[in-house]
Amino acid sequence: MKFISLAAIIMPVALAGIATAVDPNGGPCKDANMYECGTLTGYNSGDPFLFYCSADSATNRVEVIKECTCDTCCSVVKGGVGDGGHVSCT
């Protein structure tokens, strides 16, 4: 009789959950040196997050600043920079 431990069954399932976690950091973004609000399925329970689009030599990259708490809790005015620029993520 072949015996398989409970740990051998649970471990691959737990690792599969880790492997499919979504992280927007480092992903591409459009407007360099500006703040934006974004949503991504599987990240922050579908609620928006505030991120900065940093300029990279090859492409622009997402840097998450804050995870917002509701689907209407993120706003960016004028890219969040300069006169009149504003960001909000509650």
Residue 13 lies in a domain: no
- Please indicate, yes or no, if residue 15 is contained in any of the structural domains: no
The predicted model gives 39-63 an average pLDDT of 93
- Domain span holding position 76: 22-89
Q: Is the pLDDT higher at 57 or at 61?
A: 61
Which 3-state string (H, E, C) describes the chain?
CCCCCHHHHHHHHHHHHHHCCCCCCCCECCCCCEEEEECCCCCHHHCCEEEEEECCCCCCEEEEEEECCCCCCEEEEHHHCCCCCEEEEC
Question: How does the average pLDDT of the chain come out, rounded?
Answer: 85
Does residue 5 form part of some domain? no
pTM across the whole model: 0.75
Domain count, the chain: 1
* 62 in any annotated domain: yes
